[in-house]
Amino acid sequence: MRETSILREKISRELAKTDPDWHLIEKLTREQVDSGTENVRFSVDAGHIKRLGLELVARQETALAELIKNAYDADSTTVNVFFENYDRPNGTLIIEDDGDGMSLDTVRDTWMRLSTANKQNHPVSPRYARVRAGRKGIGRFAVQRLGKYLELETEIAGSASGIRVLFDWDREFHSGKNLNDVFSVVTTYTKPIERHRTKLTIKELRERWSEASISRVWRTVLLLQPPFGIKKIESIDEQAPVEDPGFEVQINGISSRNKKTSIAIGSDFLDHAIAEISGEIDSSGKAVAYVTSKKLNLKESLTLDSEFLLTGTLSFKTYYFIFSPDALSGLKRNVVQEMGREYGGIRIYRNGFRVSPYGERTDDWLKLDADTSRRTLLVPANNINFFGQVALSLEDNPLFEETSSREGLIENEAFEELRKFIRGSIEWAILRVAALRGRKQTASQRDFTSTTRLKKPSEVLEEFAGIVEEEANANSAQYSSHKFYESAFSKAKEKILEWENNVEQKQTESLQYEEMLRILASLGLSVSMFGHEIKGMRSSVAANVLVLQRHVDILDESSQKKKIQEITQTLSVATNRMFDLGAYVSGLMTSNESRELRTLSVKGAIERFLEQFSKYLERQKISVDFSIQRAELRTTEMHSSELDSILLNFLTNSVKSMKSAKVNLRRIKIYIEEDGENILLSFQDNGTGISKEIREKIFDAFFTTTTETDSDGLAGPGTGLGLKIVSDIANSYGGSVTVGIPDHDYSCNIELRLPSSHKKAEK
């Protein structure tokens, strides 16, 4: 009670003065309130500011990035960063932007209020309707993390004076002092009435900024926003009051736009990727991955089995590079590798700004480096092989929250779903690329036969030199150590063993291919003889059937006559069917006698094929839906029998599949469209489909899923050569054959790509 009386007396004495010390009155009043025994409240130690600065902002680049984000949130178009004496202790850092600035009330109630909810309550900026990047309100901790003193100058348009506030972090904000007792001095100054800006002058920097540090700053700035576009993040307020002119960062007079040009992480560089991989998750949780490659004539998609119900709608895109001469299209390997080390990785962007550390050299959030080093994946799949990004937004992906330190996302179930989606999409895509390049994909892959060209010994030595160079760059400090050479030669030995294995595989493949050619040659002779004999006997059999029918017609009407007529009709249908097949085979062999190549009308070839087998399709109760994007589409110069062979193999496989599935309404869909420089032929059916387990094997020689002889004769037993022949024909013309995603109501889709005639004409 005595202490309370003393406090009241001090307050009264101060209030009685002509010019009372209101700071003292506020402090004494607070002590008076806190001395009560009925309730208690929290207070904050002034040293907490220093602890928050060091704990919430781990790295100085992150602190600078937060201040740049604040400038963006303030609707600035340019932020200038100046380092003075940064290469020595106690340097100065100036950050000035042309944003809206702050009034004294905004400084007091928002900038200096800890954990303010202002940006949560106002998620878009007022002028350009930008989705605000900063949400934790840690800008003032970032400046404390960077230096000992801060001079804040801020100006708003329409006012003739600006506001200057000084902060002495170490001297004023120290432990043992109540935060409410720390007051920072405010002064005003005259300014042009139309000017608006905020300038932060951070003095006595806590750390020296080396040239390497400045390089890291540039890297942070350049990758702060997505370097190449994916699905645009829409602002919550679709109609901004003024069109956003963009945002530029300048460091010591160098523009980020010029810097982006100088590092060339744009289309000129990315066009050299072996493939482009992308994916998206829609509002229902359905996820689809895509892979395209002009170099490999690859364009495929995959619907993932899992549902992703927590992520929300999102998309990603990455460019995939393989550091080998045949995959770089003239770029120097060491240049691309250096770009990969500097800018490679899959980054995450939230509300248009990067979330660290994803995509950093030391970050392996997708476990790509780990699985590649353990050789779980045998294809090139390190983080440096990818230049990619994931786009998240506050509106579409609310379950993704950044940690308080701004170093990463909270790794909840939504994050795990995201990781699973990105990793699964990328792994599927790079394995498809490896398959088309004839590379082994996983250590567990059985019965693999390589289709790649054997490397010359000189090329193996060149790869060895590249390995030594990589090891030297990665371990420059240990360049002369025994450990370095042991590591380099170990990797080189792996390359040489791989070369030896490829030689052995090529020898085995050659023997298998020679065996297949001998079988095909004997089959060709047999088929040729069959076609010739059928053609020779056609007239004789047809005449005898006609004579038989006439003899039956003159018989007296009786049940016996009716029965003989039915038998004669059946015999006529059967012989006509045999003659149709013989004529088809004879036509193939006749056209093969001439090896002249010519462009083929796709529409005409398919219509002739369907007409030839119309009766067969009718007997099999198969309906065919044929459509073509443009009737004038023509293939590159090829042999007509090759296209007929492709169609026949597709048809027989579909018939066997639909019979195996026991479907009542058998359907085949043939669709033709122009696909860049290629013609895409999609052949679909509603049979059993192709399981994932055999999807990569169906184009191998002698692989078959059918063993029983088919009763209709045309489909016959499976030899395992049909799709291999199709694949060889397509590849010989620079095309491809792949398993695609079937349309609704269909279960299988084989997609054939052949170069179109205009491709050759253009060349």
What is the DSSP annotation of 706-736?
Answer: --SPPTTSSS-S--S-HHHHHHHHHHHTT-E
The per-residue pLDDT for 581 is 60
Helix (H, G, I), strand (E, B) or coil at 299: strand
Contacts of 515 (CB under 8 A, 6+ apart): none
Closest to 202 in 3D by CA, of 248, 150, 250, 276: 150
Q: Which residues pair with 147 in a beta bridge?
A: 205
The per-residue pLDDT for 447 is 47
Helix (H, G, I), strand (E, B) or coil at 137: coil
Residue with tokens 């032929």: 681
Residue with tokens 């990818």: 386
The per-residue pLDDT for 478 is 46
Residue with tokens 């020898």: 507
The per-residue pLDDT for 3 is 67
Taking the C-alpha atoms of residue 715 and residue 706, their distance in angstroms, rounded to an integer, is: 10
The per-residue pLDDT for 32 is 75
The per-residue pLDDT for 196 is 94
Q: Are 149 and 169 in contact (CB under 8 A)?
A: yes
Residue 5 CB-density burial (10 A; 0-12 exposed, 13-18 middle, 19+ buried): exposed
Taking the C-alpha atoms of residue 381 and residue 746, their distance in angstroms, rounded to an integer, is: 34
The per-residue pLDDT for 683 is 95
Contacts of 738 (CB under 8 A, 6+ apart): 298, 300, 432, 750, 751, 753
Q: Are 656 and 667 in contact (CB under 8 A)?
A: no
The per-residue pLDDT for 263 is 45
Q: In what order do the strands lie in the sheet with 161-168?
A: 186-190, 161-168, 147-155, 197-205, 92-97, 78-84, 248-251, 254-255
Q: What is the mean pLDDT of each run of 10 residues along the chain (763 residues)?
A: 71 81 78 74 76 68 81 88 82 92 88 66 74 60 83 93 91 83 89 94 86 74 64 44 78 70 54 89 94 89 91 93 73 71 85 82 87 78 89 88 77 93 94 80 49 57 61 52 60 65 66 59 57 63 74 73 75 66 57 65 90 85 92 88 85 90 92 89 92 77 60 54 81 85 91 80 47
Q: Which residues pair with 288 in a beta bridge?
A: 280, 303
Residue 164 CB-density burial (10 A; 0-12 exposed, 13-18 middle, 19+ buried): middle
Q: Is the pTM of this model over 0.85?
A: no
The per-residue pLDDT for 20 is 83
Taking the C-alpha atoms of residue 332 and residue 319, their distance in angstroms, rounded to an integer, is: 17
